[in-house]
Amino acid sequence: MAEKRRSGGTAVLPEVKPTQSESDRLLLSQLGVGELLRGAILKMVEARSDDPIGFLADHFCNLASVSESAGTPGVSDGDQVNGVPSACAQEQQHLNRALWHLRLAHHSQRSAFSNNLLLAYDLLSHPTSGCPGAGGGVRGGLYTQTLQCLCSEGGVPASTSAPLLRRLHCQAHEAVPYDLFRQGVLTCAVFSDYIRQAQRLYAQVGCPAEGPASRALCLAVLGTLQEALETSQGPGANRYLEASAKISSHKVAQVMARGGRAPGPGGNMDAKEFENAAAELFIARVRVVS
């Protein structure tokens, strides 16, 4: 469609004729274009995406697929539930939209992420009834499914995330309150980042091209990682500084030099084993809310 675009004039931003401008404005407001674009720009500015064009493309594609599947062309950022196809399909659609909201901003962008988290929670809270406020929270089954999707989208293999998900697991019939939902989502988002970093760390320890890295070196690095994670319970900022000092590249290099010389366990450690060991360190520190 866009490819077929042909423009008669050569001006990029032609001044719309005054007589026409009124009818154009009317048309745009009838189509709801202003509202649509305002929503898109707000989302984009909030996320400060590095690739705003890609962001807008995804944003509008997502909106289009939502509004087309809901059978209601036009602006729709709320729930438009006309002609319900089936409860299951609708639940899936809500899940997709919730995940899309969660994907928009990295969790380090706290205010944007929190907004999106709230939107996602609202979407998932009343997936089938269509009337707001019907349920007392997100159902456990949907919550678990959301966390699963977040981990797999974050590039974490299912086998690595399984122990974490078991820990965060809720019964399918339970209603998950917002705080718990927030904690769960945040844990999975941080876990995905953490696992990606662990994978990169392994690549640094060994040379992926030359086969698996030495077990002694891996254990030394994992030990440092554990030490950093187990930093004392001081006030926030101090803990971060202490932890990052413990895992500084200087420190890691020192430990690796020592680990390489010391007589230790022989043999190698493959990437999966390293990833699992690193994941275990993280998961051990996830507290279970009962």
Partner 1 sequence: LTINMNRFNPVLPVDEYLVETNVLFYLNDALTQLLEHKEEYTQFGVIRYFAEYFSSVKNSNHVLFREYNYIKATPHNRASFIKVFWRCFRQIGRSGDVLSMQEYSSVLQLLCPDFPVELVQSAARIVLMDDAVDYLMSFADFLYAFQLLFYYHEFLASVLTIYQDLLFGKSPNTVIVPTSIAVEQLPLLATEENTSQELQEGVEASTLAECINGLCDRFKQSYPSRTCMLDVLEQSPKVTYYGFLMGLAKHDAINTEIGALPNRSDVLVDPEMDQELLKLISQISASPGSNSSGSVPGGLRESQKKASPRRSLHHRRRMEVESDGSTEETDSSES
Tokens 């907004």, residue located: 115
Compute how many residues bind partner 1; rule: CB under 8 A. Answer: 54
Query: Does 278 engage in binding with partner 1 (CB under 8 A)?
Result: no
How far is residue 193's CA from residue 199's CA, in Å, rounded to a whole number?
10
Exposed/middle/buried for residue 140 (C-beta within 10 Å: 0-12, 13-18, 19+): middle
Query: Does 2 engage in binding with partner 1 (CB under 8 A)?
Result: yes
Tokens of 29: 């407001």
Query: Does 17 engage in binding with partner 1 (CB under 8 A)?
Result: no
Q: Which member of 74, 155, 208, 260 binds partner 1 (CB under 8 A)?
A: 74
CB-based contacts of 69, cutoff 8 Å, min separation 6: 85, 93
Exposed/middle/buried for residue 127 (C-beta within 10 Å: 0-12, 13-18, 19+): buried
Q: Which member of 93, 109, 128, 148 binds partner 1 (CB under 8 A)?
A: 109
Query: Does 241 engage in binding with partner 1 (CB under 8 A)?
Result: no
DSSP secondary-structure letter at 213? E
How far is residue 207's CA from residue 185's CA, in Å, rounded to a whole number?
33
Near partner 1 by CB under 8 A, which window of 64-72, 130-138, 154-162, 274-282? Answer: 64-72
The least CB distance from residue 190 to partner 1, in Å, is 8
Q: Which member of 22, 69, 73, 171 binds partner 1 (CB under 8 A)?
A: 73
How far is residue 17's CA from residue 29's CA, in Å, rounded to a whole number?
18
Query: Does 26 engage in binding with partner 1 (CB under 8 A)?
Result: no
Query: Does 36 engage in binding with partner 1 (CB under 8 A)?
Result: yes
Near partner 1 by CB under 8 A, which window of 8-16, 123-131, 155-163, 205-213? Answer: 8-16
* H-type alpha helices, 70-130: 87-104, 110-125
Q: Which member of 22, 26, 60, 260 binds partner 1 (CB under 8 A)?
A: 60
Phi, psi of 175 (to 5 degrees): -100, 125
- Name the residues that contact partner 1, by CB under 8 A: 1-14, 16, 24, 27-28, 31-33, 36-37, 40-41, 44-45, 48, 50, 52-54, 56-57, 59-61, 63-64, 67-68, 73-75, 106, 108-109, 190, 193-194, 197, 201, 244, 247
